[in-house]
Structure 1
């Protein structure tokens, strides 16, 4: 999956003139270069901007009438980033503004790239090390962050992640399944059904959307984590699984990487299998369609992710 080139975004020149002028005013100089972000699956504007005086900033923007959901996500991310503990590998917000019906979020620029796939061992180590810092900082989050009324992964699972039960009940069609997983619907339902209980027992916060395209590796080799709109109450090991799915596809010993990481400390013995089952059902079911506000690459990402999660689970369960 070419995660560095999945987005379909408007160019800087596509933004209304009033929005471009307002952004330039806040940045303090005219924008002379805009490098559109290639990663991600939304149609929102996102670009690295350089001004005439040499300053750089990363800017996201969306129109409220056409993309109200994106506006909500960007506003939520701004509130979260402002309250995250200091010192984390996270782009910090500078300002937000409303202009001509558009919401704009400006962040510090990170000079980096999406991790190369297949995973480079140095970049993988840097990413897992940085995630350790995030895990530790969010295990006991500050009150100002939890006061935002963040969602709970347990509720998100019940409302939107668990789909094998819907398939078993005949309310959703059976997605295409590889041979090892055929006839395993009862086991998949049983596994995914444990996720809400496991998630509810967690006391910390977790990113909630830690895919490889939400990671940047900077020029020093350090990893940064982006797109914080889905921060929620839940276990860090959930994010660890979503991050390592690409590693399974690369043939890495992801079982060992999961077990050895501090985020997995204290996780239930079958937490990895439970999460893989839930992710497989969610992605394979969602891959049948894409909302008009999403990139047309989204179904391919969801299908691939679901297939890899199911293959990893089948391998662990010795399904043949």
Structure 2
């Protein structure tokens, strides 16, 4: 079992010592991510920009990559495919340049039907539906609202459970993780749809779980080592939880790596977002969230509680007449 240990016992890595460098790198990456999103934008999927969903039935389960290449070759944009039921039915989602024009939509659907019928003999068209701009705008608002409420809720929970410094540092670290993910999609130009929103929420859940483990150990050591310096105490806490953090992240990355290789095109964007989120979330837990507690002025020792009036009266004692 000793050979399987990636992190040896009694590690003593000085994470806090380089916190200023980590803060500078984090700030530069965050600014770069925001700039990429602002300048380049995101490659929004049909869920967010509107489009058409076509349902096609095949005599036998087709190769999804062949269907995708056939549809993408028509020049309407990148298609998103999903197999339904016994995998003989495939849903094809395409963006439409002018989804409000019924004639343009009908023409596009006819071209897709003809191309699939020629490539796959026996394929038959079932139906199609369009996603309007109004619905897509509502999905964008709901997606952004879900992410913001998740961050705010986690910050409030950390504030109430620990100290206010924990709530602020956790919110900053999670916001950093979300911005890094958005910057990655702006850089790679992968399709950003509702599946990626689900991935972002999953990343937030993983990140907060990792941070809570470290925060619990920091609070425990604050009560145990009241005379220890805060920098030394945080290094001790992070090193104590480091084996758990590394093993958890590595296990998740192995599973996601399998999905990335064997999951196909449909899961590629989701898996890439999850892998990036695990790496960035682990980094922010160690270098951003924990080290930021020193900058925010957190001190060792439990929070002092004000004595109640009854306790004051008991300590002073009754007055002599």
**TM superposition score category, shorter chain reference:** under 0.3
| Higher relative helix content | 2
Greater gyration radius: 2
Q: Which has the higher contact order (CA 8 A, sep 6+)?
A: 2
* TM-score normalised by L of structure 1: 0.22
